[in-house]
Amino acid sequence: MSSNIYGHLSAGYIKLKGKVGRVFSSRYPNEGEWLVNHCSYDFGLDVGADDDDEPLYCLPIAVYDDSPGSGFGLLTSCLLLRPYEDEEGGFVRVGIMTVALDSKEILPEELQWVYDFSV
């Protein structure tokens, strides 16, 4: 087993365009309100990314229906980002987030735009 915590990826970048919005402005729980069989949202930060209190931003990248296999229903996958200091308008990915689209009302206010954008 390798001691490299990032796997085979060692460097590089991708250019993506889309709607980016601020989702958390302070310390945050990593999962939302419990629904029937899943949380309203959950996220994971990369190793070392949780050492920082900087705000997180979100780029929704996929909407999919997970109900055939798990019964979760409609979900949105997002990249979690932090601003990149060396490039204006640039961001660095620091994690991933999944937002359930069951009900907008149960999502924190900071995530309701993700629901609006996705449905």
Quote the number of domains for the chain.
1
Residue 89 belongs to a domain: yes
Residue 91 belongs to a domain: yes
Its pTM stands at 0.72
Residue 39 belongs to a domain: yes
pLDDT for residue 59: 92
Question: Whole-angstrom Cα distance, residue 87 to residue 118?
Answer: 28
What is the H or E stretch that residue 98 is in?
A: strand 91-100
Domain assignment of residue 30, given as a range: 21-118
98, pLDDT greater than 80: yes
Residue 75 belongs to a domain: yes
Percent of the chain with pLDDT strictly greater than 90: 3
Residue 113 belongs to a domain: yes
pLDDT for residue 60: 92
Residue 6 belongs to a domain: no
Cβ count near 41 (within 10 Å): 24
Residue 3 belongs to a domain: no
71, pLDDT greater than 80: no
